[in-house]
Amino acid sequence: MPSYRYKSIDKTGRTNLGVVTAESEAQLERRLSQQGLWLVEAELTRSPLTELRVKATGLAWSVRRKFGLWPKVARQDLIEVCVQLSTQLKAGVSILPALEATHEETENEYLRRVLGDIRTRIESGSTLHGAMEVHLGVFSRQMISVVRAGEISSHLPEALTEIRQELEWVERMVGDIRQATIYPLFVLMAIGLTGILLFSFVVPRFASLLQEVNVELPGFTRFVFGVSDFMAITWWVWLAILLLGPLFLRLIGNFSNAFGVYVDQVKISLPVFGPLNRMIAMSRFAHTLASLYRAGIQIVEALQYCERAAGNRSVEQAIKRVRVDVSEGNLLSQALAKEPIFTQLLRRMVATGEQTGQLEETLERVAEYYNEFVPRRVRRLFSYAEPLIVIGVVGIAGVVALAVFLPIVRLVQGIG
């Protein structure tokens, strides 16, 4: 049976500290309540060997996360696990048989091993959130925190349902944005490859033919051929930048937090795409905060988990400053007002939610607004961009054709 280090208060307000064994935090809370005590904090105690094992596992996952080496566990796999567990627990099945059935039904081989390890740890006396904590590469700290809140309040099925809804929301938002952007991005990449191909291989052939007939080249043609000569020598550099540049920036950002913050700041400051990136970050922040707040997690702790969920390190730094401000006793709306990165809509809605006592509902409304607005804005933006993309392709081809045609015209005039 696991041991808990706890902090409680009695009717006089005096603080009590102690260590006691209990099957769960909920049982510990009931036991203290029978003694006239109110549980304030409870932490699962670990042996030094277990603590070392958890830290070593966390370090291993951190290294894997840096290099992208951990086995793939899709978001949809986690959604199915949450559905199966919450359904069985609501039906009255205890956690161990529910994990066993979910383990057998899971198709992802690595996730099956993870679920088997979690079941073994629970059989040895661990809590569900404590067993999940060992596998931080699979389960986020946000998920673990919601499960912990569910175990403390004896509402674990509802906590798993909350996680499922959060994962489904992320899946839906990512899918909408991907659907709206994949075609334009593909076309833009095709334009870049076409330009590299024309100036690196096609134009040099025409240049060599014109040089053989000793025709005087116009200034425009010489300029285009000069660009072509440069591209013919460095085409592999531009191709590498086009294909590997985003990956390189991501790797540098993983190892240099200052560089990552700078890149993410640029993302939300771009003339056209900046507002979109900012709205996506606001949507993630509002939805995640509402989800954690609804699960019973205190606002300061919820803000801590919202930092990474924003998906933008510049926004993450702003949320961190907001968390510090709130922990010092300020209202959330007051803390948000000090950070210009948060939209006026979000700040107004949070202030309204605090005044009416409906912060969770107002945050959800903000998230729903951005969920509908962002994909629609992306589709509209690229519907306007498609004609410009076509004009760009025609323009590149026209420049090459004009550069070749002008010397031919001069050659014909000379012959005439």
Q: Is residue 42 helix, strand or coil? A: strand
Is the pLDDT score of 348 beyond 70? yes
Bigger pLDDT: 185 vs 114: 114
- For residues 290 and 303, give the distance between their C-alpha atoms in angstroms, rounded to a whole number: 10
Residue reference for tokens 């304030």: 40
Classify residue 202 by its DSSP letter.
Answer: I
- For residues 32 and 10, give the distance between their C-alpha atoms in angstroms, rounded to a whole number: 10
pLDDT digits (tens, 9 = 90+) for 8-49: 877 777 777 777 777 667 777 888 888 888 777 777 665 555
Q: What is the pLDDT of residue 10?
A: 77
- Through-space distance between the first and last CA atoms of the chain, rounded to whole angstroms: 102
Q: What is the pLDDT of residue 58?
A: 52
The sign of the torsion formed by the CA atoms of 309, 312, 317, 322 equals negative
Residue 181 banded pLDDT, cuts 50, 70, 90: low
pLDDT digits (tens, 9 = 90+) for 233-264: 877 787 787 777 777 777 776 677 777 778 88
Q: Are 168 and 79 in contact (CB under 8 A)?
A: yes
Domain ranges (residues) in the chain? 167-416
What is the total residue count of the chain?
416
**Rg, the chain, Cα only:** 29
Classify residue 1 by its DSSP letter.
Answer: -
- Which pTM value belongs to this model? 0.58
What mean pLDDT is reported for the chain?
A: 79
* Mean pLDDT of all residues in 73-81: 89
Residues ≥6 apart with Cβ < 8 Å to 331: 354
Q: Which CATH number does the domain 167-416 belong to among 3.40.1380.10, 1.10.3720.10, 1.20.81.30, 1.25.40.20?
A: 1.20.81.30
